[in-house]
Amino acid sequence: MSDNHSEQSHIGYPGYFGVFAILVVGTILTYLTSFWDLDSIFPGANTLLALAIALTKMTFVMLFFMHVYWSKKMVWLAVVASFFWLSVMFAFTMQDYFTRNSGVFSG
């Protein structure tokens, strides 16, 4: 197969190690924050914080390890459209979840 990739600049080994360090720190931060009880702020604050850290880590992986940062505008459009669709799916799921009754198994 022919290689049709154009010459692109990349971050090199120091950049990859930097992103890897960010991912390791994010993982450790997620572990450490799991011991905090943030329900006094609002119910589900621990989950929201864990998801925010995971979203940050996912962004670094997508931008640098998957080379989206150096991609053409069409790839960026596909990425943005996929996140828009994901947010629509979460919105409909949460709308369904929050409008249900407590159910048979609730205390």
What the block records as the tokens of 78 is 């596909």
Q: What are phi and psi of 6, to 5 degrees?
A: -85, 160
Instruction: Band the pLDDT of 106: cuts 50, 70, 90.
Output: low
Mean pLDDT of 46-50: 88
> 36 and 46 in contact (C-beta within 8 Å)?
yes
pLDDT in tens, 49-81: 998 999 999 999 988 888 888 888 898 899 899
Where do the structural domains in the chain lie, given as residue ranges?
Answer: 12-66, 71-99
Whether 43 shows a pLDDT value over 90: the answer reads no
